[in-house]
Structure 1
Amino acid sequence: MNNKKFVPAAVLAGAVFAALMTPSANAVTQPEGPSAKVAAAPASAQDVERASLKCSSPSGAATNYSWGTGSSDSTTVYFNNHCSHKMDALLHFEAGGGQKTTRCMTTNGGTQGKKRFTVTRYHLKKITKGC
């Protein structure tokens, strides 16, 4: 014999809704309204740098780059080429002692992706046009 009680779906849904809408002791509430400000996310262990190089065509377009600045033996450069042509970029790496080296990165027009560069003890400082 079944000893379970039948609970109508509407009652069950109301109980679930009430439980979800009740703030718990661990809940973080945000202010409401047009002047509400959201707290900034905590700083990550790895900040992000960005660079942008203008295209020759179409007018106003650019190739955008970003990379992490954390300590590592490799750097992954993310790109989004909005140009209608290939774009050559010169990556400038620098070591703690002031030593410098460069690498060339070519991306096809209208593409996006990432490329990993292994340059031990060097950090990517900037990206300039051309190779």
Structure 2
Amino acid sequence: MRTLTSAGATIAAVGITVGLMSAPAYAAPAASAAPTASTASALTTPHAQAAPRPPKSGKDSIKCSKHSSARVNFSWKNGWETTTLYFNNHCTKGKRITAAIKWAPVDGKPWYECFSTNGKTKGKHKFGHRTRIADINTRTKYCGK
């Protein structure tokens, strides 16, 4: 009796499976109708597409003096709210170098800011500016303008 019951259950399970496999295509639920978790989060985040990437990073260097081959090397990385300036001063110890940082134009006019480093030092400095660095040179007379 048990053999007949389990055989009947097996035949019924196979019959249901075959019946579902032969169902017409229009009876299958549409998989793309409901948004998935990844598309739902992309749809609910309005600033994901609108926010531009921060400006590119760069590098520059200035000589310690007219007759020296030693340099102060600068590199920077622009972020969303700040700009980080990295420096490596190869000038002789004790020699202070002041560099003029030319920031990209704001309202059509660039502006300058001075930054000083001691000889034989390296480090970084974070500026709270969103604009990008356009150039680094020794024209310190423009600083503050």
* TM-score scaled by length of structure 1: 0.56
Is contact 2:78-2:84 (8 Å) kept? Answer: no
Which of 53, 57, 66 is the matching residue for 2:75? 66
The match for 1:127 is 136
The match for 1:54 is 63
The match for 1:75 is 83
- Give the percent of matched residue pairs that are identical in Structure 1 and Structure 2: 35
Is contact 2:55-2:132 (8 Å) kept? Answer: no
| Separation in structure 2 between the aligned mates of residue 73 and residue 83 of structure 1, nearest angstrom | 31
Moved over 4 A (4+): none
| Separation in structure 2 between the aligned mates of residue 57 and residue 112 of structure 1, nearest angstrom | 22
Change in CA separation of 1:48 and 1:98 when aligned onto 2, cut-off 3 Å: same
The match for 1:117 is 127
| Separation in structure 1 between the aligned mates of residue 67 and residue 84 of structure 2, nearest angstrom | 27
Residue deviations 1:46-79, cap 9 Å, x none?
6431111011288211000001245x23111000
Q: Number of residues paired by the alignment? A: 86
Change in CA separation of 1:58 and 1:97 when aligned onto 2, cut-off 3 Å: same
Unaligned runs of 5+ in 1: 1-44
* TM-score scaled by length of structure 2: 0.51
| Separation in structure 1 between the aligned mates of residue 66 and residue 121 of structure 2, nearest angstrom | 15
Residue deviations 1:5-55, cap 9 Å, x none?
xxxxxxxxxxxxxxxxxxxxxxxxxxxxxxxxxxxxxxxx76431111011
- Aligned AA for 2:118? N
Structure exhibiting the larger radius of gyration computed from Cα positions: 2
SS of equivalent residue, structure 1 residue 122? coil
Change in CA separation of 1:100 and 1:57 when aligned onto 2, cut-off 3 Å: closer
Change in CA separation of 1:111 and 1:130 when aligned onto 2, cut-off 3 Å: farther
Which of 99, 103, 119 is the matching residue for 2:109? 99
How big is the alpha-carbon RMSD for the aligned residues of Structure 1 and Structure 2? Answer: 2.5
Compute the displacement of 1:81 (Å): 0.2
